[in-house]
A and B are shown apart, each in its own frame.
Chain A
Amino acid sequence: MEIAFLKRISLRVKTLLLREQLDRDLADEIAHHLELRAEQIRSVGIDADEARYAARRRFGNATGLKEKSRELWTFAVIETLWEDVRYGSRSLRKNLGFTAVAVLTLALGVGANTAIFSVVKAVLFSALPYRQPDRIVAVARGDSETPHPTNVSYAEVEDWKARTRSLYDFALYHGWTPASSGKGTPEIVYGLRVTRNFFEDLGSSPFLGRGFLPEEDRPGRWHVVVLSYPYWVRRFGSNPDAVGQTILLDQVPFQIVGVLPRNFEPLSFTDAGSPPDVWAPLGYDLSIPQSGRTWQHLHAIARLGDGVTLGAARAEMNSIAWQLAREFPKDYPPDASVLILPLRESWYGKIATALWLLFGATGVVLLIACANVANLLLAQSTKKRREVALRSVLGASRSRIIRQLLTESTVLGLLGAVGGVLLASWGTALLTRWTPDDIPRMAGVRFDPTVLLFTLGIATTTGVLMGLVPALETSRADYHEALEQSSRGVRGMSRSRLRNLLVASQVCLAFVLTVASGLLLKSFMRALNVNPGFKIENLYEVNFKLIGPKYSDDAVVVRTQTEVLERVRHIPGVESVSLASTPPISGSFGALDRAGFVIQDRHIPDPAVPSVDRYIVSPDYFVAMGIPLLHGRLFTDTDANSAHHVAIISEMAARQIFPGEDPLGRHIQLGGRHDDRPWATIIGIVGDVHQYGLDSPVTPQSYLLYSQSPDATVLMVRSTVGSAALTRAIEEQIWAIDKNTVIFNPAWMSEILRHSLVSRRFTMFLLAGFGALAVLLAAIGIYGVMSYMVAQRTSEIGIRMALGAQKRDTFRLVSRDAMLRAGLGLLAGLLLSVALTRVLSSELFAVSPLDPLTFGAVLLLLAAVALGACYVPARRAARVDPMIALRHE
């Protein structure tokens, strides 16, 4: 049985491959038969020609037989499918114009979908490349002031570790940018300091050498490094002997103990633009001041315990936070909380909304494209009605005809997919170039089988979807009507209603997309117009880092910084210069502190200790930056040299922390109450500055003098000199003081500002692009249907005109129809948008999701587009010559 089966299959496969041979064999067999029969007939005395006829008559329909045998031999389904495909391609080839428009339309839709999907997949779907990535969570202390809290202090994590049963394997890390010196000018190296279990926790270990030992993760003992694979290749030419060597980081010798494997992806563990190249132990214990509970500058990950849900972990950690707040009321607000997010969400949560949004938008574009092509097919199918009717009359079953029409539209869909993949490969290249740095997995975006499968899937689906309506319609055709030549003028209502529905839904969807992009555009404009709180023009920012043992003395640091200020101030073209620990709008680099704001004469919990941004600045910072003084006075050089500590706070801080009180003269400490340390007196209130980006709310801020804390490492220079010359001049001046100083990341504030909006710009531009595409497609749709209607109604129009209708009447008649349809779509779009724009709210800035201006503008725009799209066909209708139109019939 088995063998027979195999033989049968092999025979069939053979027949499929050896078509022609078999056809010839069959013909031979029949010819042989006919010949023998003719001979036999001739033998009873009938002449040769007559005998041949008789033989053939007796044999019957040889062609039918051939077809039947062939059907037997081959896989009938594949055969007819192939036939349909050939038929479909033929009819597509015959209508090149139609095919080109349809394929282009689909290619745009499919291409947009494929491109965005490849990004969505890389960023949102692929698992993080760590051990059991779904069990890794990011843990942070809740902070109502920060939109996206990520920070913890060392001491509180120690407390958590001791108390939690739902989380284990806490690992801490912290950005680190040492200067590597050795050959040539020192350069900044990006790095991370991590607790010793960090790599293990992620399921990775160095492929050369070893990780960190417990005794190396201690204060003063952490001078060992593990290198990243790329850095090892770059710096050490992949030399395995690198392990054991010593490198100088910040002029301190570090022993290289290991190299991470090539496939280790640090992903978003650092918020600096570049992946970390050097890894050192965190080197903390509870004895050092940076470990203090209020010193939240570390990031934490942990693993969910077996069978512990996120909800359970959150509940437990929040109750622990609550207990800790009771035990250490000085260090925590009474409503202390803990934020636990799956690692993936913590990294990509923000971008996910935008990506889903774009994905949805491309889906809508595809739907519109589908509707367009369905409409075109519908128009085509009207032309095909006669042919289809004829086939039906000749015995083709309805399902057969539907199958055939669907095959045609699927072929169309697949052609669109090919075009789409081409567009998408070009599109993703563009996307990867454009995307903001905060989509960290863009490097992983590529066309893999999943993406192609997705494309194939949507192409077939769209093919069937858009073919289904016309196919069902056409196959239901009334043969009599269809076969009668003259049944042109009056069409069945159902088809035109269908077409109307398609056009209306296109307009509706286009409306939704346009409103969405309009709202984003407006948000973007609003964000651009936000007053950053300081003057951006000609403001240049340069980071510098003093390296060497002598700088462990704060007094030396301050003296050097003062000298740097003095020297840079005298560079020609420099208008002003000041120092800051953190420049405004700084995304990645500054060592921004959020610190507890402790007021001497106010005791806890009265109310909670608020958090403020802490800036260390030089006295002339406010004047140089153009930050206005609102009350009191600014820092002076006298303050800088005085032992008496002073502070300046922002307007928002004054309003939030001292409502109805005068903050001037109050004594404060930043970062925990320490009565043994000096208190700073508030001497002034200045304007608010946008710290986390123009589109983020203003946070309360406080300023201390650089002479009281040596953290100010960014030069803010206002200058009319070009960047290259300016950087060179600054380098010259600073290196004249100490040539080991590292100078890095120079940038104009205007660039930084632009960069801070890059993510918003990205979403906005893409969505606007898709919106424009949607409008274009809808316009084409309206135009196509209108043209078709006019062509269909030429004779009717002719009659009307012959009976005295004016051109204007005709124009109105035709366009009224179209506008009615578009109007319906607009109305539906309006309602749908009202229901849907709420989804956008997280992406909006200072714009209501129901912004009436945007809605109104979009309504006008789309109405104008619809009018424009039907203008040309309507004018054509108005120009109909009644004589020609009637003769045409």
Chain B
Amino acid sequence: MGKHKKDNPGDLLQGTLDLLILKALARGPLHGYAVAEWIHESSQDVLRVEEGALYPALHRLELQGLLSAKWGASENNRRAKYYSLTSAGEKRLADETEYWRRMSSAVARVLQTA
């Protein structure tokens, strides 16, 4: 009966998973598995998305209107749900990327200070 209110993005920082998903979809529509794989590969196996958390995140972004989804046939000719960025999603991606850059460089500067 208990509910877990808090999202649990695994090893990733809160909010980071959303950014990564948006980024993954920036190049074109993908299904869930491909999103997970893309993140995994492009981070050179460092970031591994907890797959159980991926789908709720995708659905949440869809509800927020940042993604749109369409059912299509996958490479192995199965029914798969393809997600793509909406224009709101693109804008959010740009904002978040910018924000992330500033944050990470700020954190890096702090860490460099002796």
Q: What 1/0 mask marks residues of chain B from 8 to 37 whose CB sits below 8 Å from any chain A CB?
A: 000000000000000000000001110010
CA distance A400 to B5 in the complex (A): 13
Chain A minimum-CB-distance residue to B62: A11
A575 to chain B minimum Cβ distance, whole angstroms, is: 86
Max count, chain A CB within 10 A of own CB: residue among B31, B51, B60: B51
Max count, chain B CB within 10 A of own CB: residue among A7, A33, A58, A60: A33
Is B1's beta carbon under 8 Å from chain A? yes
A39 to chain B minimum Cβ distance, whole angstroms, is: 8
Q: Indicate whether A64 sits within 8 Å of B52 (C-beta atoms), given known contacts A29-B81, A72-B63.
A: yes
Q: Which of A220-228, A317-325, A388-396, A649-657 contacts B (4 or more CB under 8 A)?
A: A388-396
A-side contacts of B71, CB under 8 Å: 25
Is A65's beta carbon under 8 Å from chain B? yes
A-side contacts of B74, CB under 8 Å: 32, 36
Q: Indicate whether A32 sits within 8 Å of B78 (C-beta atoms), given known contacts A68-B56, A73-B59, A391-B1.
A: yes
Number of residues on chain B facing chain A (CB within 8 A): 28
Interface residue ranges of A691-738 to B (CB < 8 Å): none
CA distance A11 to B81 in the complex (A): 16
Number of residues on chain A facing chain B (CB within 8 A): 34
B34 to chain A minimum Cβ distance, whole angstroms, is: 8
Whether the pair A59, B52 counts as a contact (CB closer than 8 A) is: yes
Q: Indicate whether A32 sits within 8 Å of B52 (C-beta atoms), given known contacts A8-B64, A72-B63.
A: no
Inter-chain residue pair count (beta carbon < 8 A)? 77
Q: What 1/0 mask marks residues of chain A from 426 to 441 whose CB sits below 8 Å from any chain B CB?
A: 0000000000000000
Whether the pair A32, B79 counts as a contact (CB closer than 8 A) is: yes
Is A641's beta carbon under 8 Å from chain B? no
A841 to chain B minimum Cβ distance, whole angstroms, is: 57
Choice from B1, B50, B76 contacting A395 with Cβ under 8 Å: B1
Choice from A33, A59, A69, A396 contacting B1 with Cβ under 8 Å: A396
Interface residue ranges of A808-832 to B (CB < 8 Å): none
CA distance A396 to B3 in the complex (A): 8
Whether the pair B4, A8 counts as a contact (CB closer than 8 A) is: no
Is A851's beta carbon under 8 Å from chain B? no
Whether the pair B56, A65 counts as a contact (CB closer than 8 A) is: yes
Chain A minimum-CB-distance residue to B60: A72
Whether the pair B33, A65 counts as a contact (CB closer than 8 A) is: no
Is B88's beta carbon under 8 Å from chain A? yes
B-side contacts of A537, CB under 8 Å: none
CA distance A64 to B74 in the complex (A): 26
Is A26's beta carbon under 8 Å from chain B? yes
A42 to chain B minimum Cβ distance, whole angstroms, is: 13
CA distance A26 to B62 in the complex (A): 14
B-side contacts of A25, CB under 8 Å: 71, 81
Is A37's beta carbon under 8 Å from chain B? yes
Whether the pair A37, B55 counts as a contact (CB closer than 8 A) is: no
Is A335's beta carbon under 8 Å from chain B? no
Q: Is the interface of A mostly helix, strand, loop or mixed?
A: helix
Chain A minimum-CB-distance residue to B78: A32
Q: Indicate whether A28 sits within 8 Å of B79 (C-beta atoms), given known contacts A7-B65, A73-B63.
A: yes
Whether the pair B2, A65 counts as a contact (CB closer than 8 A) is: no
Is A71's beta carbon under 8 Å from chain B? yes
A-side contacts of B81, CB under 8 Å: 25, 28-29, 32
Q: What 1/0 mask marks residues of chain A from 20 to 31 whose CB sits below 8 Å from any chain B CB?
A: 000001101110
Is A35's beta carbon under 8 Å from chain B? yes
Choice from B2, B51, B78 contacting A396 with Cβ under 8 Å: B2
Is A604's beta carbon under 8 Å from chain B? no
Chain A minimum-CB-distance residue to B48: A58
CA distance A11 to B60 in the complex (A): 12
Whether the pair A32, B31 counts as a contact (CB closer than 8 A) is: yes
Q: Indicate whether A65 sits within 8 Å of B52 (C-beta atoms), given known contacts A4-B65, A32-B33, A36-B33.
A: yes
Is A62's beta carbon under 8 Å from chain B? yes
CA distance A35 to B55 in the complex (A): 15
Choice from A7, A30, A36 contacting B55 with Cβ under 8 Å: A30
Q: Indicate whether A4 sits within 8 Å of B1 (C-beta atoms), given known contacts A33-B51, A35-B78, A72-B59.
A: no
B-side contacts of A73, CB under 8 Å: 59, 63
Choice from A59, A69, A71, A391 contacting B51 with Cβ under 8 Å: A59
B-side contacts of A61, CB under 8 Å: 52
B-side contacts of A62, CB under 8 Å: 52
Q: What 1/0 mask marks residues of chain A from 729 to 749 whose CB sits below 8 Å from any chain B CB?
A: 000000000000000000000
CA distance A36 to B32 in the complex (A): 10
Whether the pair A8, B51 counts as a contact (CB closer than 8 A) is: no
Chain A minimum-CB-distance residue to B10: A60
Q: List 12 A-B contacts (CB under 8 A).
A: A29-B31, A32-B32, A32-B78, A32-B79, A36-B33, A60-B53, A62-B52, A68-B56, A69-B59, A72-B63, A73-B63, A394-B2
Query: 20 additional contacts, CB 8 Å, given A4-B64, A8-B64, A65-B56?
Result: A7-B65, A8-B65, A11-B62, A30-B55, A32-B80, A32-B81, A33-B32, A33-B36, A33-B51, A33-B55, A37-B33, A60-B51, A64-B52, A65-B52, A68-B4, A72-B60, A73-B63, A394-B1, A396-B1, A400-B1
| A residues with CB within 8 A of B | 4, 7-8, 11-12, 25-26, 28-30, 32-33, 35-37, 39, 58-62, 64-65, 67-69, 71-73, 391, 394-396, 400
| B residues with CB within 8 A of A | 1-4, 31-33, 36, 50-53, 55-56, 59-60, 62-65, 71, 74, 76, 78-81, 88
Closest 4 CB pairs of A and B: A395-B2, A60-B52, A4-B65, A36-B33
